Amino acid sequence: MEIFIEIANEEDYEGFYNLKIDKNNVFWSGFKKPPKKKKLNEWFLKQLSRQDRIIFLVRLNDNPKKPVGYLYLDFLEDDIDSISVSYGVHSDFMGKGIGTKIIAHAFEYVRANYTTTKLLVGWVSTKNIASMKVFKKNNFIETNETKKVLLVDFNEEITMIKYIKNINH
Ligand SMILES: CC(C)(COP(=O)(O)OP(=O)(O)OC[C@H]1O[C@@H](n2cnc3c(N)ncnc32)[C@H](O)[C@@H]1OP(=O)(O)O)[C@@H](O)C(=O)NCCC(=O)NCCS
């Protein structure tokens, strides 16, 4: 499945909304209900103006209008050597290698564009087997560093593991 990945812009809010109401994305983002359209669109537009975040959308070569995945790169205020990644793939397109390509893209993009960045970081729930596989397939190292995150909607605490990959410029 051929894809391309590009930075999102204002016209993409409809496609972004479609990704964020997908049941798997709602669940893994820690929510019980999908986001409200107006609120999500306001949030999306605000994100695009942030200096510390870049949002990318993933598109199919043969049907580019409707994005099938997303990627955020976050610049961390308290750790200027690292960039953190978050990503997702629409349920209809999972298990086709797209998640693996997204993380490969994140690495190549950071290596090419942020020459002072030393580390790419991903935090993954211990229950998210697919995402752990994606990071491992991209040669990330599973660290001993963990953090607990409270999923308010589920009143449940989950453990996240830190995955890292060095960037050798
Ligand atoms: C995690 C996610 C991005 C993976 O995307 P994807 O396009 O399905 O990933 P890929 O197809 O590249 O590879 C996933 C790997 O996990 C496996 N996998 C997929 N779903 C799985 C599941 N439920 N249980 C176990 N393994 C699973 C696939 O078989 C594949 O492994 P393989 O190459 O050994 O066969 C996608 O499941 C998703 O969007 N989930 C919801 C949001 C999310 O969790 N984001 C990541 C937060 S850290």
> Which tens digit of pLDDT belongs to each residue from 9-21?
999 999 999 999 9
From the CA of 166, how far away is ligand 1's center (Å)? 22
Predicted TM-score of the model (pTM): 0.96
pLDDT grade for 115, boundaries at 50, 70 and 90: very high
Q: Is 138 in the pocket of ligand 1 (CB under 6 A)?
A: no
Q: Is 85 in the pocket of ligand 1 (CB under 6 A)?
A: no
Position 108 pLDDT exceeds 90: yes
Domains of the chain: 3-122 (3.40.630.30)
Task: Tell the residue nearest (CA) to atom 42 of ligand 1.
Answer: 88
Task: Tell the residue nearest (CA) to atom 1 of ligand 1.
Answer: 131
Length of the chain: 169
Torsion, Cα 40 13 18 136, to 10 degrees, reads -90
Residues with Cβ < 8 Å from 46, sequence gap 6 or more? none
